[in-house]
């Protein structure tokens, strides 16, 4: 498969004249249909973004609000309404989140909530929730709790019967999968693996990749820019050079890129590059299950069963090799190691 690289073009901008005509046309259409459209929504579902929105329209509880993963326009009307109406917004990085709130003129107070302080913040947050406050939780980008803080707080709320409401929106893994061209009917999300040199983490990472390499589902990983070279080398060794992959970078941003090819081609392409921005890397699932070699433990089990049942070593080796995809010489070597050169072999 030849490697391909696709980049998005700058958004098309309307001229002032065409923009005025379009706005005039749209407003006339909207005014006619608005009365019919709103009849399909309850008062709590209306896509209202007015600063006069009453907090009483929302029920007290924890709201998990998805935020843009790059382009600030990728936020829902409902998300904006919740953020404006909340008593407080829990934010992974208040400096980062303040840019989004400033862009949409949202004045709700921010409180830091990240992996280093989520345990100590939990009691005070639960207290506010029990007192009937509306608490919104956002991460730096995407959906809270998906490779971001939030899971522990949701678990605590569930155990104390506090209402948790998801406000759906952007997620890098789903966005990348939808445009990858790889199978979408089944996938496994491996999140961020450990990208440090410690031997323990190295072993855990390889073990996770080995498990992923045997699955039929599309495999999805978040990879930091500094870990891309090491990831591709390990993935090629474990998955095989010919396995197809898609490397999605800077999704929804100006320099968005979807690179497609095999793992071998990816290694060559990125060898001299140092990409910027978070990377979502997808690898096609395993397809050649018929040729899968059985584990040594399985072969040992079958050999032991046959020899215990009275078969000589050579007969057991023949039967096991015929029943599996294992090579006869490999089965024979294993049998010799386990049982020695018994008579009749």
CA angle 232/234/235 to nearest 5° reads: 60
The structure tokens listed for 345 are 């072999």
The structure tokens listed for 219 are 């495999």
DSSP 8-state secondary structure symbol assigned to residue 259: E
Picking from 113, 118, 122, the residue whose alpha carbon sits closest to that of residue 160 is 122
| Span 166-204, pLDDT tens digits | 999 999 999 999 999 999 999 999 866 655 455 556 677
| Span 254-295, pLDDT tens digits | 999 999 999 999 999 999 898 888 899 999 999 876 556 678
- Predicted pLDDT at 319: 86
Q: What is the three-class DSSP state of 15?
A: coil
Picking from 327, 320, 287, the residue whose alpha carbon sits closest to that of residue 302 is 320
Higher pLDDT, 151 or 30: 151
| Span 68-113, pLDDT tens digits | 999 999 999 999 999 999 999 999 999 999 999 999 999 999 999 9
Whole-angstrom distance, CA of residue 142 vs CA of residue 132: 26
Q: What is the three-class DSSP state of 233?
A: helix
Residue 211's contacts (CB-CB under 8 Å, 6 or more residues apart) are none
Neighbour count for residue 65 (Cβ, 10 Å): 25
What proportion of the chain, given as a percentage, has pLDDT over 70? 77
Neighbour count for residue 17 (Cβ, 10 Å): 8
Do residues 87 and 127 make contact, with C-beta atoms less than 8 angstroms apart? no
Helix (H) or strand (E) holding 317: helix 313-323
Helices (H) and strands (E) in the chain, counts: 12, 11
Picking from 99, 100, 97, the residue whose alpha carbon sits closest to that of residue 112 is 97
For the whole model, what pTM was predicted? 0.67
**What dihedral angle (degrees, nearest 10) is formed by the CA atoms of 91, 96, 100, 106?**
50
């Amino acid at each position: 498969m030849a490697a391909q690289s696709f980049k998005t073009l700058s958004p098309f901008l309307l001229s002032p004249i065409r923009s005025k005509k379009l706005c005039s046309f749209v407003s006339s259409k909207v005014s006619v249909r608005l009365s019919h459209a709103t009849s399909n929504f309850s008062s709590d579902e209306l896509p209202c973004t007015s600063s006069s929105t009453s907090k009483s329209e929302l029920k007290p509880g924890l709201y998990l609000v998805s935020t843009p993963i790059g382009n600030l326009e990728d936020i829902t009307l409902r998300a904006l309404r919740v953020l404006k109406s909340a008593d407080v917004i829990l934010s992974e990085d208040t400096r980062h989140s303040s840019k989004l709130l400033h862009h949409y003129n949202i004045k709700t107070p921010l409180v830091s909530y990240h992996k280093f302080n989520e345990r100590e913040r939990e009691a005070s947050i639960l207290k506010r929730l029990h007192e009937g406050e509306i608490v919104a939780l956002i991460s730096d980008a995407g959906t809270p709790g998906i490779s971001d803080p939030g899971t522990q707080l949701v678990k605590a709320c569930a155990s104390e019967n506090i209402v948790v409401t998801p406000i759906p929106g952007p997620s890098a893994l789903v966005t990348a999968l939808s445009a990858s061209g790889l199978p979408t009917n089944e996938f496994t999300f491996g999140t961020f693996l450990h990208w440090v040199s410690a031997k323990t983490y190295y072993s855990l990472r390889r073990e996770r990749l080995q498990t992923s390499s045997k699955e039929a589902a599309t495999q999805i990983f978040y990879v930091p820019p500094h870990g891309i070279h090491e990831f591709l080398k390990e993935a090629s060794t474990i998955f095989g050079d010919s396995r197809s992959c898609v490397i999605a970078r800077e999704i929804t941003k100006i320099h968005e890129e979807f690179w497609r090819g095999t793992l071998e081609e990816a290694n060559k392409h990125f060898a001299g590059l140092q990409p910027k921005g978070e990377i979502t890397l997808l690898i096609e699932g395993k397809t050649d299950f018929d040729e899968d070699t059985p584990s040594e433990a399985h072969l040992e089990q079958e050999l032991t069963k046959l020899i215990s049942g009275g078969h000589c070593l050579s007969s057991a080796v023949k039967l096991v090799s015929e029943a599996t995809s294992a090579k006869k010489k490999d089965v024979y070597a294993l049998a010799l190691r386990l049982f020695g050169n018994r008579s009749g072999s």
